[in-house]
Structure 1
Amino acid sequence: MARLLDRLATRLLKLPPATTGYTVTKDLRVPMRDGVTLAADLFRPVAEAAGTILIRGPYGRGMFAAGAAGVYAARGYAVLYVSSRGTFGSGGVFDPMATEADDGQDVVRWMVAQPWFTGRFATLGISYLGFTQWALMADPPPQLAAAIVAVGPHDFARHMWGTGALNLDFLGWADLVAHQEDPGVLRRVYRQATAAKRLGPVLAGLPVADAGERYLAGRAPWYRDRVTRPDLADPFWAPMRQAAALERADVPILIAAGWQDLFLEQSIEQYTRLRDRGVDVALTVGPWSHTQVAGQGAGLITRETLDWLGEHLAGHGRRRRRTPVRVFVTGAGEWRDLPSWPPAERERTFFLNVNGELTAERAGEAATAAFTFDPARPTPVSGGPVLSGGGVVDDSALAGRDDVLAFTSAPLTEPLTVLGAPVLTLAHSSDNPHVDVFARLSDVGARARSRNVTEGYLRLDPERGDGPVTLRLRNVAHRFAAGSRVRLLISGGAHPQYARNLGTGENPSTGSAMRPATHAIALRTSSIVLPQVEPEG
């Protein structure tokens, strides 16, 4: 089975051929400081190991995990794959991300004392398995030689509440984790395939915390705490906020991300903060959503991982990437090598204008636009950086809604390439201080089909007073073709990506009363600035 899995992975992912066979020792017990033991599998190459790889996470050590670990074992690395506490045979109670820092230190303490340990190790993994790496690097062990983090957050609290609004994706993830050990592979696959349909009525329910708890039926006891604590300074969040790793990690780190990924902005921050400290860091960003990274992006990321391990762990490889940063430019369908991110840029400003136009000239002094957000009928959103159903979609229907403002440019006379984070400035007011602002930049093609490019979301401070609202959209690398149009969509919500603003000031997860809000925008001083790279013709 191991050989078959490796042959399949080698062909599908276009990997270099295996160099050795390997053995698997299952269900090792790794002791924690509180007496709990974690379950682990060890993959050991038949040949002398070139280094050790540590992978930790809550998703089990089944065929998919074994195939991933086997890829590296078959190329000369010893791989220790450890299940998070409370999952797949590990003792204790699963409390997402709360114990990963301490448990990581205990796993390393045990690992380096084993006779098979090679003296140096690297970490790797995707998503939650990326968080476990940052948690370890907040206090990096001396034996750590390198890390490869794919779409992995370092600050889970900020993902949940960083916009001021609750990220409702957490319910879908809680549902997935709560049932991932249910018997029957086909049953689990079916459950996941029908998750969106089942979760729809739950996400529409109020209060949010109660609706989620009823649905989860006690299988995720940690759910309520995370959806009812909007204060990022709450000590509850401390173990789930590992930004210290960005100041303490000093090993070579490869970061992989996707333009439509949940954690893109944290991946960009990881790269920039490490780069600014002089750490050897590289960044690859592809055209992927979160789930697509493990599918469409798997081949490229695995090949880059093998190169990184060869150079920094085994010591027999050479750097194959030409520049520290590689990004896929959507709209152009091409990869671009860059010395840094974001690249040097000039600005292209579009002003919001009357009749839904996006222009190079300002609107008249008295020009305004308005819409009403009704939390009883929250503005929907499709595609974008969500866990299920995310990515690039046709969002034309949004522009026609009465609770959305749409501003569209004239057809471009030449291509426009945007690399970086667009910034939206709105002269905004509302008749209710409790409001959110959602903005999306879309590409309207020659056939009038609109496809999302990037977006941003912000819950406004009800005490903010007068003054412009500035919203920094997510980073992007996209080329608008000649003849296409730039579209800006503005609304007061993006449900069910974010919990609706109830308009009352109540805790968004425990409240149920609702009050609409009318937003008004003075167009003359409202604009979006795009970081444009070199002129193109």
Structure 2
Amino acid sequence: MSTYDKNQKAEFVPMRDGVNLNTIVTLPEEGSPWPVILNRNPYPFMQADFLEQAKFWAGHGFAFVLQECRGRGQSEGEWIPFVHEIEDGLDTLNWVIEQSWSNDRIGTYGSSYSGILQWSMAEHLPPEVKTMFIAVAGIERYKQLYMNGMFRHDLFTAWAIWNAGYEPLLPQDTLYREALSVKPHIEMDQHLFGHTLPWYRDWVTEIDPDRPFWNTGFWADLKEVPCKTKIPVMIIEGWFDHNLNSSVLSYNKLPESVRSESCFLIGPWVHTEDVAGDLDYTNHELWVPKQHRAALQWFNHHLKGEPFENVDLKGKVQTYVIGEGRWKSWDGWIKNNSVARYELACTQGPIHGLTLEKPFAGTSVSYAYDPSNPVSTKGGAALMNYLSRAPDACRPASVYQDAPGTRTDVISFLSEELEAPLQISGPITTHLTVSSDAEDTSFTVCIMEQFADGTTCNIRDGITSLRFRNDRTSPYTPNEIVEIEIELWPILWTLRKGSILRVDISSSNFPAYHAHPNIAGSWALQEEMKIAKQTIYTGDIRSSWIEIPVQ
């Protein structure tokens, strides 16, 4: 044991297989025994931040237990992401219960990986655990790594590099760019570290959601954990966090009796639980940084028995409305009053139409998609490399976009100026009729608001491969005309009167997603790429449109 100060001590807590995990306990000044908050994480480079959080919670009368996951920091054992976490978490909870400073009222706490750790053991929690506080984390792993067969590079290639567990062979500031250039991509680990990362190789080759990898074992069990959860949960999310969709699924899977005692808070935040991008988000700090105000009320209630200061923290969904700068409370889940259908209408010029009236004549527009020159990512929720602070990292959230017509492989459709505000309330769905001369390829969509001054910001984006279109595995024959549906993540966003609704269709969004090589098969095993001719169809017979849920 080593002493940090009189109220903070480090211990090595033994697990059932004899491995000892570094565990730092921070105690309040007086009043023992105390309610306990447990955080487990695999990020030794964030230890200073976690210790500051420990002091915050101890200062409010909670014993705070901070543990480094197996094989990370000073903890013993081998680092294999997500393996051993259920057993290690439960062993740690049993150790906490035995301590003289614990009053047997425990809450679990943490974000991202730490949130997944909480979900993973939720079904097996001892009765002393009264609640969980889970931020920016989710339980649908395939849907986190992939969108319709397209791998999220900027998220999980970056995460793999940061958490490889090996010293790199190349300069640190070149690793990410180098990783993206390796072909076939499966060799990235050997190229960068001289070692294989079996877990990452599984991620980049298991592209089919129907494979046993996703439907047996840990990942299959994790998807169903919320259904078996018995204690209240506070879930924190951001409209621009990559775990948003997974967290929505988690919340809606909670039993009704548990959901009625839980809370779901969604702000205009990225993964750091803060704002980013080019827009202003008035009043987003209602719950103060890291939502500590909400967390404190939550733990005071569930671990100390104190009443809520804000009654909307129990049994409610609280959401920030972008464009209005206000919070809105819901019973159950976000609701809408109607659906606005905007038709895509191809015209002769480089800029095409977006109309509430269905175009009469059938038309189409084609473009060449070259995977060696993909469209660069500008904003969005499927990003993480910005946390590296690399100067060339993609900026997350809503950012200013290029003018329509900037690239010939990005087809823009623009509405007339809105005569009244348009209040988006939920997930936008894109329906496209398309074809390609490739044996497999991808199509992207980006929904944007063009303001009266001409500047434009992204609202939501999505992508699909043809092989995994429409949420199922489907064969594709070159030049076959097919219908594809891309459901975008939910959002509350009010477009201003006088703004223009803009829809961009393309075939790449790199490095948010891998650049599809236009060849069938596992993308991470491909070395070659081909240029593909892509066609979008609009009109009375082969139509393309978007559906917007509105208030």
Q: Hey, what's the Cα distance between the residues in 2 that align with 1:108 and 1:172?
A: 31
Q: 1:398 to 1:384 in 2, by over 3 A?
A: farther
- DSSP-derived class of the 2:303 partner: helix
- Residue in structure 1 matched with residue 341 of structure 2 by the alignment: 349
| Structure-2 separation of matches of 1:514 and 1:378 | 12
Distance of 1:512 and 1:76 partners within structure 2: 57
State the match for 1:185 in structure 2: none
Does residue 33 of structure 2 align to residue 57 of structure 1? no
Equivalent residue number for residue 501 of structure 2: 486
Residue matched to 1:318: 308
Residue 183 of structure 2 corresponds to which residue in structure 1?
Answer: 206
Computed over aligned residues only, the root mean square deviation of the Cα atoms, in angstroms, reads 2.6
Once the two structures are overlaid, the 10-residue window that deviates more, 159-168 or 216-225, is 216-225
**Identical pairs, percent:** 26
Q: 1:478 & 1:498 partners in 2: Cα distance? A: 24
Q: Is contact 1:178–1:219 with CA below 8 Å preserved after alignment?
A: no
The separation in 2 between residues aligned to 1:466 and 1:158, in whole angstroms, is 26
Q: Can you give the 5+ residue segments of structure 2 that lack an aligned partner in the other structure?
A: 277-283, 387-394, 468-473
1:176-195 equivalence runs, <5 A: 176-178=162-164, 195=173
- Following the alignment from structure 2 to structure 1, what is the Cα–Cα distance between the partners of residues 189 and 408? 29
Among residues 25, 41, 51, which one is paired with 2:24 in the alignment? 41
1:391-410 Cα distance to aligned partner (Å, 9 max, x none): 11112257521111111111
CA distance in 2, matches of 1:53, 1:211: 39
Name 2:453's counterpart in structure 1: 447
Structure 2 vs 1, CA of residues 315 and 419 (structure 1 numbering), >3 Å: closer, same or farther?
Answer: same
Aligned equivalents of 1:275, 1:333: Cα separation in 2 = 32
SS in 1 for 2:312: coil
Matching of residue 147 in structure 1 with residue 132 in structure 2: yes
After superposition, what is the alpha-carbon deviation per residue over 1:355-410, rounded to whole angstroms, capped at 9, x for unaligned?
A: 31111111233211222222222222221111122111112257521111111111
Aligned to 1:291: 272
2:87 corresponds to: 102
1:516 to partner: Cα distance: 2.5
Aligned to 2:263, which of 268, 282, 285? 282
Equivalent AA in structure 1 for residue 265 of structure 2? T
Aligned to 2:359: 363
Q: Provide closer, same or farther for how the CA distance between residues 404 and 477 of structure 1 changes in structure 2, counting only shifts above 3 A.
A: same
Identify the residue that residue 161 of structure 2 maps to in structure 1. Answer: 175
Q: Is 328-337 or 348-357 further displaced after alignment?
A: 328-337
Q: CA deviation at 1:414?
A: 0.9
**Preserved contact between residue 273 and residue 289 of structure 2 (Cα < 8 Å):** no
**Aligned AA for 1:52?**
V
2:475 equivalent in structure 1: 463
Secondary structure class of the residue paired with 1:403: coil
- Distance across 1 between alignment mates of 2:405 and 2:535: 17
- Please say if residues 104 and 135 of structure 1, whose CA atoms lie closer than 8 Å, have aligned partners that are also in contact: no
Q: Normalising by structure 1, report the TM-score.
A: 0.87
How far, CA to CA, are the matches of 1:49 and 1:475 in structure 2?
A: 43
Q: Does 1:32 align with 2:15?
A: yes
Q: Distance in 2 between matches of 1:360 and 1:271?
A: 34
* Aligned residue type for 2:374: P
Per the TM alignment, residue 158 of structure 1 is displaced from its structure 2 partner at its CA by 2.9
Distance 1:208 1:397, change over 3 A: farther
Query: 1:528 maps to which residue?
Result: 546
Q: In the alignment, residue 229 of structure 2 is paired with which amino acid?
A: A
Q: Distance in 1 between matches of 2:190 and 2:150?
A: 19
Distance 1:49 1:318, change over 3 A: farther
| In 2, Cα distance between equivalents of 1:319 and 1:292 | 22
2:253 to 228, 252, 273: 273
* Superposition pairs of residues 65-144 of structure 1, within 5 angstroms: 65-144=50-129
Give the Cα–Cα distance (whole angstroms) in 2 for the partners of residues 231 and 36 of structure 1.
35
Q: Deviations over 1:458-485 (max 9, x none)?
A: 2222516765211101111111001111
| Deviation at residue 234 of structure 1 after TM alignment | 4.5
Residue of structure 1 equivalent to 2:426: 420
Q: How far apart, in 1, do the equivalents of 2:181 and 2:43 lie?
A: 28
Distance between the aligned counterparts of 2:90 and 2:13, measured in 1? 12
Shift in Å, 1:437:
2.0
| Residue-by-residue CA offset, 1:310-361 (whole Å, 9 max, x unaligned) | 1112112325143612111112222222223222321111110123111111
**Cross-structure match for 1:377:** 373
CA contact (8 A) 1:416 1:480 kept: yes
Distance 1:31 1:293 in 2: 36
Aligned to 1:248: 228
CA distance in 2, matches of 1:217, 1:409: 52
Q: Report how many aligned residue pairs link the two structures.
A: 501
For the residues of structure 1 that align with 2:75 and 2:210, how far apart are their CA atoms?
A: 31
CA–CA distance in structure 2, aligned partners of residues 378 and 290 of structure 1? 25
Note the C-alpha offset of 1:276.
Answer: 4.4
How big is the shift at 1:440?
A: 1.1
Corresponding residue number in structure 2 for 1:14: none
Do 1:347 and 1:529's aligned partners in 2 also have CA atoms closer than 8 Å?
yes
Structure 2 CA distance for partners of 1:207 and 1:181, relative to 1, 3 Å: closer
Q: Residues 110 and 316 from structure 1, CA distance in 2 versus in 1: closer, same or farther, beyond 3 angstroms?
A: same
Structure 2 letter corresponding to 1:500:
A
SS at match of 2:223: coil
Unaligned 5+ runs, structure 1: 1-20, 183-189
SS at match of 1:291: coil
Give, in angstroms, the shift of residue 178 of structure 1.
4.2
